[in-house]
Amino acid sequence: MSQFMSPSSPWPAHGGQAEALLAHFGLPADHRLEDFSANLNPLGPPAWVSDWLAKQLAGLERYPAPDYAAARQAIATHHQLQPEHVLLTNGGAEAIFLAAALHAGKRAAVITPSFGEYARACRAHGLSISEIALPAPDFTLDVDSLTAGLSDIDVLFLCRPNNPTATLIDMSAMEDLLNNTAAIGCRVVVDEAFIDMVGETSQEASLAPLLARYPHLMLLHSMTKFYTLPGLRLGYLLADVTTVQAAQDHQPPWSVNHLAAELVAPLLADDAFARRTQRWLASERPRMAQALTQLGLEVVPSQACFFLIRPSAAQEITTDALFEQLLRQGILVRHSHNFAGLNGEWLRVALRDEPDNRRLVNVLKKELHDCLR
Ligand SMILES: Cc1ncc(COP(=O)(O)O)c(C=O)c1O
């Protein structure tokens, strides 16, 4: 996987990658940066995780049990499903690539703007790709026009809530879409990587209860965002039994390491951490939505742990200039040059804890004010 969009591009292909950006903008390698570019829960990982991992190290001397029974049972219980509907994966990223592998050589549709790995996984597995654009600035999806574009498509990839727009297709629109796609024989893959960040009702927000009614639906999950464990790699796929077995056939053996697999059940049992995260979201997200809007920025209403923003026409600063000024002020946000449909015009900023968020707003305020002088 390349670190950059292209060999000559200054823009990294993913969030983070501060070193390369600092070098490009002529800033010292030790320039202090707060990372608003990665959409991770600022409250995690749960405090007990490091001690707990240390105690599991002896298990590294053995291969993990290939069926990951305890982890799959914990996930199944969490979603009120049977373990046969669960495949544990090496991050949500592996689940995306397995979903593409299942449709190798067929025709896929992806939404733009959305997470770029769907298209990359499809290319890797020889699928042809049609892009279906969500219109700026509200990026809402119209089910009827989407369905009209799916008549010769085998599999549709959707992200819910969507990265990078933070918009959520509501449940009734999803049911309409699932009915329409069932009728035309188009598989629907929904990436729920950020579903736990929707809010108080995140359990209800997942489409997992619909799996029994719609066997052409597949759900992809990440456990790295909510629990702040991207380095550990942990995710899963939910689908009907046949699809789970077929996906497993494409998965390398022992794809999920012992530490990650053993951690699933205790993570899902940590209700206090989940409640604390929901309280943070319930207070910081509306506060930040208001604060960013009051700065005169365009702000896409968010149902996730990040915001898509851009300077409004009245603000005499380009998005790239704002990105650079923020970097100089010690704030790293996510550029949008490699999100199809955004053309670099927007910035994605993660929601962090209250002091960090306040600092972001203060720096933005100063930069937007200075550009008017
Ligand atoms: C929408 C979406 N899905 C999946 C992933 C992959 O997550 P994981 O770390 O679980 O592989 C990401 C990571 O940024 C993402 O943004």
What are the structural domain ranges in the chain? Answer: 18-45+272-370, 49-269
Q: What residue type is assigned to position 76 of the chain?
A: A
Q: Which atom of ligand 1 is nearest to the CA of 90?
A: 11
Kind of pairing between the strands at 34-35 and 331-332: parallel
Q: Ligand 1 centre from 222 Cα, in Å?
A: 6
For ligand 1, pick from 222, 227, 236 the residue to mutate: most ligand atoms within 8 Å of CB.
222
CA atoms of 251 and 237, how far apart (whole Å): 12
Kind of pairing between the strands at 298-299 and 306-310: antiparallel
Given CA atoms 139, 120, 264, 72 in this order, what sign does their dihedral have?
A: positive
Return the structure tokens found at 372.
């008017």
Q: Ligand 1 centre from 41 Cα, in Å?
A: 13
99 in Cβ contact with 235 (< 8 Å): no
Q: Which atom of ligand 1 is nearest to the CA of 163?
A: 1
Q: Which atom of ligand 1 is nearest to the CA of 114?
A: 1
113 in Cβ contact with 139 (< 8 Å): yes
Residues pairing with 307 in the sheet: 349
Start-to-end C-alpha separation, the chain: 42
Whose Cα sits closest to atom 4 in ligand 1? Answer: 92
For ligand 1, pick from 224, 234, 267, 338 the residue to mutate: most ligand atoms within 8 Å of CB.
224
pLDDT for res 4: 59
For ligand 1, pick from 75, 163, 192, 334 the residue to mutate: most ligand atoms within 8 Å of CB.
163
**Which stretches does DSSP call E strand in 162-215?**
187-191
Instruction: List the chain pLDDT tens, one digit each, 373 residues.
Output: 556 556 667 787 776 678 888 988 999 999 999 999 999 999 999 999 999 999 999 999 999 988 999 999 999 999 999 999 999 999 999 999 999 999 999 999 999 999 999 999 999 999 999 999 999 999 999 999 999 999 999 999 999 999 999 999 999 999 999 999 999 999 999 999 999 999 865 557 999 999 999 999 999 999 999 999 999 999 999 999 999 999 999 999 999 999 999 999 999 999 999 999 999 999 999 999 999 999 999 999 999 999 999 999 889 899 999 999 999 999 999 999 989 999 999 999 999 999 999 999 999 999 998 776 5
Helix (H, G, I), strand (E, B) or coil at 308: strand
CA atoms of 86 and 140, how far apart (whole Å): 30
CATH class, range 49-269:
alpha beta
User: Which amino acids bring their CB within 6 angstroms of ligand 1?
Assistant: 91-93, 115, 159, 163, 191, 193, 222, 224, 230, 235
Return the structure tokens found at 297.
């920025």
Kind of pairing between the strands at 107-112 and 128-133: parallel
Contacts of 127 (CB under 8 A, 6+ apart): 100, 103, 104, 105, 106, 107, 108, 154, 155
Q: Ligand 1 centre from 37 Cα, in Å?
A: 13
Contacts of 267 (CB under 8 A, 6+ apart): 46, 49, 223, 227
Angle at which helix 354-370 crosses helix 271-294, to 10 degrees, equals: 20
Q: What residue type is assigned to position 134 of the chain?
A: L
Q: Which atom of ligand 1 is nearest to the CA of 94?
A: 11
Contacts of 63 (CB under 8 A, 6+ apart): 254
Contacts of 22 (CB under 8 A, 6+ apart): 28, 29, 31, 33, 327
pLDDT for res 200: 63
Q: Ligand 1 centre from 365 Cα, in Å?
A: 31
For ligand 1, pick from 225, 228, 234 the residue to mutate: most ligand atoms within 8 Å of CB.
225
CA atoms of 69 and 73, how far apart (whole Å): 6
Return the structure tokens found at 3.
């670190």
CATH fold of the domain at 18-45+272-370? Aspartate Aminotransferase, domain 1 (3.90.1150)
Q: Dmax of the chain from CA atoms?
A: 64
Q: Ligand 1 centre from 206 Cα, in Å?
A: 16
Contacts of 213 (CB under 8 A, 6+ apart): 178
CA atoms of 194 and 281, how far apart (whole Å): 12
